[in-house]
């Protein structure tokens, strides 16, 4: 994993307004995972790329390499209909924001995707994505799962949450939904990565679930507000889930299913690929078993997952004490940290009361502090990490 | 795997009568897997060892290394009660025989056990153990298995049989019994390795099953007729199952169960160790999953097992044509081979009629011919291997 990106902490350090606006527009022009578009972006920067794609003179696009005239015409056509200011407004209406590469909240592990890196991410929810992603695991699987699969996904979600890990999934029916619900039931932290706009509810039946995730966790997507999912967008969304997390656990998957694409993507990116076995008589475990006969690691519970993904010290700063000095924490996070008494574990509610903030906000900051190594979780309660009291060194370049 | 032992084929080439009688006696004196006893046997040979253990002068045993006086007294005590001629009679009464190391029927892969090698094997059934063991796989698992485990074990038994593989197990309740039954139902070849005498039925409820295996397959044990199983004998029996076969498949096993001992024994002997996954919510799959998180290979059906264990060409001569010239086949086997028409597949019954023998005898010989590469199985029928018609070379030292 590359250790690029700015030092975290402090207030946002936005890329300039013109670049943000250009990137907002480009999320509606460059399709997720389009490596040609990614290369243009790398070669010309967002502002210049947008200028070329929207210039009245069609020749302006000709300097863009590797695109057929037909394809370029299609992209230019899409570019004409895009209104980035409207995107930003629509995002704000649902409490969302745009997070761009290089900004403080950007999860720099997404840079591992190279030219397939998202142009930017649309994010809903109070927690900061970068911090949450530091200690996150993806739990994915079949939509039409069995009761066994749903049970296991929910148990893994809860178990990972109890161990202070953030669970990332796709908010789909079946395994995804069960994993998110397992986390929420345990009062934990979960991120839904959508294949549509963050203001768009898909699937419809998960409106309430996605709403709860946006309140207690994070809802993330590459596509601008108002975008709808397509089959290819589901597949390409999976690469973001794989890249964002330390590893991907497949709970149930048919032979050659989309969840396996996520898992193999994780493998290619140097993340851990894990699978939960099931009955060999179940077609919904056949894909997982295929994975486990290859590169996947068999896991049966949350403890085994954490044992595996927790091995890389780089991304698990909690194991070695805080990675940031206290005075680089943003004001709300610093207040939450100060709200923790010296030696006893307290529940989220009393932290929130003490810090003068809401329960959801306090929980978001506690998870962030957990990622940074300041606090530890004890069952449902939180306490100051013993190593956090005196530590005050900055570990530059960690991500 | 060592390629020691005599060239197979032809009539039995018995070790002399005195040695056979001494080994028969020693099967009742040296406990299975006793490496000290195995070393004495290697150092002094069976006749001299028996003489020292049964000599009236207690000092005769003192030349045996590494045994305490108390232990030696116990062994000498057992030696006094042993009547090898009676063992051989009792074995003959149930159609059994003694097979000694170095004899034509001895499966030389057992030599891999070193000083824990059985003193000899008591064998019931028409087929020749050495030939059957060439293409064999062990299927083992929990006694108190689930319906899922029983189903899978039976399906694997049948599937392996259909692919011409011999299935070895321990005739216990649960997985073992289901595997044997699956094979028998498919008209296949199965070997039961008992932790007691071959004339002793254990468990009682498997009297009919063990009887059928003795008729259609082989019942094998290290202990002389009349011996009863003990907990340690079950565990030590497992090493014979592991050593006899090309690999061991564990279907269901609790965490730290006896089946895992067999599987790990197989691993140490350079055999394949495989496991069939199940629900992570099932305690009866926990041991298998533990195995699969370590050295074990995940398998979900017979095809995957054969793909794995069939990789070593040495022990699968069928893949390369016959390993013996026809004129070294014993008379009954040669008749069965001649009973096969040139180009069509026929069923066992018509082979038996043509060869002038019983169906069970014909099946036993067909499996033997299959191991030797002369015949191929086509569903329930048998046909001459295309490579078998002209081949007439001897591959010496193969085992």
> Domain check: are B143 and B269 in the same one?
yes
pLDDT higher for B166 or A342?
A: B166
Question: Does the pLDDT at position B136 exceed 80?
Answer: yes
On the question of pLDDT at A317 being above 60, the answer is no
User: Are B384 and B240 found together in one domain?
Assistant: no
Q: Tell me, yes or no, whether A341 lies in a domain.
A: yes
Answer yes or no: do A142 and A289 share one domain: yes
How far does the CA of residue A358 sit from the closest CA of chain B (Å)?
A: 37
Ranges A126-135, A218-227, B108-117, B332-341: which has the least confidence: B332-341
Contact residues on chain B for A299, CB-CB shorter than 8 A: 293
Nearest residue on chain B to A308, alpha-carbon basis: B293
Whether residue A275 is found in the same domain as residue A326 = no
Chain B residues touching residue A276 (CB < 8 angstroms): 280
By Cβ distance, the residue of A280, A286, A298 closest to B289 is A298
Q: Which residue of A has its CA nearest to B146?
A: A279
Average pLDDT over chain B, rounded to an integer: 86
* CA B18, chain centre distance (Å): 25
Range among A51-65, B17-31, B59-73 rated most confident: B17-31
* Residues from chain B contacting residue A303 (CB–CB below 8 Å): none
pLDDT value of residue B387: 63
Shortest Cα distance, chain A CAs vs residue B309, angstroms? 15
More confident residue, A372 or A61: A372
Q: In the predicted model, is pLDDT for residue B320 greater than 90?
A: no
The continuous run of DSSP H or E covering A78 comes out as: helix A69-80
Q: Assess if residue B203 is contained within a domain.
A: no
**Position B395 pLDDT exceeds 70:** no
pLDDT at position A264, please? Answer: 87
Confidence class of residue A6 from pLDDT cuts 50, 70 and 90? very low
CB contact under 8 A, A300 and B286: yes
Choosing among B277, B285, B292, which should be mutated to test the A contact, i.e. which has the most A CBs within 10 A?
B277
The alpha carbon of residue B300 is apart from the nearest alpha carbon of chain A, in Å, by 6
A255 shares a domain with A124: yes
CA distance A282 to chain B (A): 10
Q: Given this model, what pLDDT does residue B315 score? A: 42
Of A102-106, A219-223, A384-388, B102-106, the poorest mean pLDDT is in: A384-388
Residue B93 lies in a domain: no
Position A328 scores a pLDDT of 66
Contact: A293, B293; criterion CB under 8 Å: no
Q: Which pLDDT score is estimated for A301?
A: 97
Can you tell me the distance from the alpha carbon of A251 to that of A230, in angstroms, rounded to the nearest whole number? 23
| Closest residue, chain B, to A293 (C-alpha) | B298
> Confidence class of residue A14 from pLDDT cuts 50, 70 and 90?
low
> Could you report the per-residue pLDDT of A134-150, keeping only the tens digit for each?
899 999 999 999 999 99
**Cross-chain CB nearest to B152 (options A148, A280, A297):** A280
B170 with B255, same domain: the answer is yes
Q: Which of B139, B151, B280, B288 to mutate to test the interface with A (most CBs of A within 10 A)?
A: B280
Task: Give the model's pLDDT for residue B1.
Answer: 36
Name which of A69-78, A203-212, B148-157, B162-171 the model is least confident about: A69-78
Number of A to B CB contacts under 8 A, please give it.
Answer: 55
Which of A151, A280, A304 is facing B281, going by the closest CB pair? A151
Are the C-beta atoms of residues A167 and A133 closer than 8 Å to each other? Answer: no
Mean pLDDT of the B299-324 span? 68
Q: How far apart are CA A107 and CA A368, in angstroms?
A: 13
CATH label of the domain that carries residue A238: 3.40.50.450
Name the residue of chain A whose CA is nearest to B149's CA: A279
Q: Give residue B327's pLDDT.
A: 64
Helix (H, G, I), strand (E, B), or coil: what is residue A76? Answer: helix
Q: What is the pLDDT of residues B346-390, one digit of tens each?
A: 999 999 999 888 888 888 888 888 877 788 888 888 888 866 544
Please tell me the least confidently modeled range out of A12-26, A272-286, A320-334, B182-196. Answer: A320-334
Q: Verify whether the Cβ–Cβ distance B277 to A297 is below 8 Å.
A: no
Predicted confidence at residue B58, as pLDDT, reads 66
Q: Which residue of A has its CA nearest to B308?
A: A293
Residue contact B298–A298, C-beta within 8 A: yes
| pLDDT over 70 (residue A211) | yes
Q: What average pLDDT does the segment B166-184 reach?
A: 97
pLDDT for the residue numbered A391? 39
pLDDT-wise least confident of A358-372, B240-254, B375-389: B375-389
pLDDT of residue A239: 94
Question: Is 80 exceeded by the pLDDT of residue A314?
Answer: no
Same domain, B330 and B379: yes
C-alpha–C-alpha distance, residues A314 and A310, integer Å: 9
Give the model confidence (pLDDT) of B9-27 as tens digits. 333 445 789 999 999 999 9
- Give the tens place of pLDDT for each residue, A228-264: 999 889 889 999 999 999 999 999 999 988 888 888 8
**pLDDT value, residue B316:** 40
Q: If pLDDT is split at 50, 70 and 90, which confidence band does B62 have? A: low
| Full domain range(s) for residue A142 | 110-313
* B256 and B362 part of one domain: no
Give me the pLDDT at residue A62, please.
Answer: 63
Domain count, chain B: 2
Instruction: Say whether B279 and A278 touch across the interface (CB within 8 A).
Output: yes
Same domain as B306, residue B244 = yes
Of A291, A313, A335, the residue at which a domain comes to its end is A313
- Using DSSP's 3-state secondary structure scheme, residue A253 falls into coil
User: Average of pLDDT values for A19-34?
Assistant: 95
- pLDDT at site A361: 86
Distance in Å, alpha carbon of A294 to nearest chain B alpha carbon: 9
Is residue B104 in some structural domain?
no
Instruction: Give the separation between CA A138 and CA A262, rounded to whole angstroms.
Output: 9
B174, B262: one domain: yes
- Structural domain contains residue B110: no
* Domain final position from B260, B283, B313: B313
Domain with residue A322: its CATH number is 1.10.10.10
Q: Which of A280, A297, A304 is the closest to B276 by Cβ?
A: A280
Higher pLDDT, A33 or A13: A33
Q: Tokens at residue A363, please?
A: 């929980």
Q: Is the domain of A124 the same as that of A71?
A: no
Q: How far apart are CA A121 and CA B370, in angstroms?
A: 63
Residue-wise pLDDT tens digits, B201-230? 899 999 999 999 999 999 999 999 999 999
* Chain B neighbors of A280, CB-CB under 8 A: 152, 276-278, 300-301
Q: Which residues of B touch A (CB under 8 A)?
A: 148, 151-152, 276-281, 285-286, 289, 292-293, 297-301, 304
Mean pLDDT score of chain A: 86
CA distance B380 to chain A (A): 24
Query: Which position has the higher pLDDT, B221 or A68?
Result: B221
Same domain flag for B183 and B268: yes
Residues A275 and A263 sit within 8 Å (Cβ to Cβ) = yes
CB contact under 8 A, B298 and A281: no
Q: Which residue of A has its CA nearest to B302?
A: A280
B278 pLDDT exceeds 60?
A: yes
* Across A203-212, A347-356, B3-12, B384-393, least confident range: B3-12
Mean pLDDT value of segment A384-390: 64
Is A154 domain-assigned? yes
Q: Which residue has the higher pLDDT, B311 or A260?
A: A260
**Residue at which a domain ends, from B248, B283, B313:** B313
Domain assignment present for residue B87? The answer is no
**Which residue on chain B is closest to A292 by alpha carbon?**
B298
Answer yes or no: do A292 and B286 touch at CB < 8 A: no
Residue B185: inside a domain: yes
Mutation to test the A interface, candidates B147, B287, B298, B303, most A Cβ within 10 Å: B298
Q: A-chain residues within 8 Å CB-CB of B293?
A: 297-299, 304
**Average pLDDT for A5-19:** 57
The predicted complex's ipTM stands at: 0.74
pLDDT band at B64 (very low <50, low <70, confident <90, very high): confident
pTM (global) more than 0.90: no
Look at A293 and B297 and tell me if their CB atoms are within 8 Å. yes
Taking CB atoms and an 8 Å cutoff, what residues of chain A touch B151?
281
């Amino acid at each position: 994993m590359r250790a690029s990106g700015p030092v975290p902490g402090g207030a946002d350090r936005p890329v300039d307004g013109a670049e943000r606006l250009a990137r907002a527009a480009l999320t509606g022009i460059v399709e997720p995972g389009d490596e040609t578009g990614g290369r243009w972006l790398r070669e010309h920067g967002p502002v210049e790329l947008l200028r070329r794609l929207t210039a009245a003179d069609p020749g302006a696009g000709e300097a863009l390499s590797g695109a057929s005239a037909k394809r370029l015409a299609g992209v230019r056509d899409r570019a004409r209909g895009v209104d980035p200011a409207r995107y930003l407004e629509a995002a704000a209406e649902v409490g969302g924001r745009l997070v761009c590469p290089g900004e403080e909240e950007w999860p720099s592990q997404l840079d591992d995707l190279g030219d397939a890196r998202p142009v930017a991410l649309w994010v809903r929810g109070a927690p900061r994505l970068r911090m949450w992603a530091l200690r996150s695991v993806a739990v994915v699987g079949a939509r039409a799962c069995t009761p066994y699969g749903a049970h296991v996904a929910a148990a893994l979600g809860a178990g990972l949450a109890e161990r202070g890990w953030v669970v990332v999934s796709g908010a789909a029916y079946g395994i995804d939904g069960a994993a998110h619900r397992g986390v929420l039931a345990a009062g934990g932290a979960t991120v839904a990565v959508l294949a549509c706009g963050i203001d768009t509810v898909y699937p419809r039946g998960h409106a309430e679930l996605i709403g709860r995730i946006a309140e207690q966790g994070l809802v993330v997507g590459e596509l601008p507000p108002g975008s709808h999912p397509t089959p290819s967008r589901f597949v390409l969304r999976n690469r973001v889930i794989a890249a964002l997390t330390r590893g991907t656990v497949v709970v149930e998957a048919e032979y050659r299913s989309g969840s396996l694409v996520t898992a193999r993507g994780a493998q290619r990116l140097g993340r851990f690929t894990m699978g939960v076995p099931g009955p060999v008589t179940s077609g919904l475990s056949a894909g997982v078993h295929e994975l486990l006969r290859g590169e996947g690691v068999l896991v049966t519970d949350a403890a085994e997952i954490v044992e595996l993904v927790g091995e890389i010290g780089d991304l698990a700063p909690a194991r070695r004490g805080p990675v940031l000095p206290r005075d680089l924490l943003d004001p709300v996070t610093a207040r939450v940290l100060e709200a923790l008494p010296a030696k006893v574990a307290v529940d989220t509610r009393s932290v929130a009361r003490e810090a003068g903030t809401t329960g959801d906000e306090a929980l978001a900051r506690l998870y962030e502090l957990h990622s940074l190594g300041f606090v530890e979780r004890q069952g449902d309660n939180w306490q100051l990490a013993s190593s956090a009291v005196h530590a005050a060194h900055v570990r530059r370049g960690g991500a």
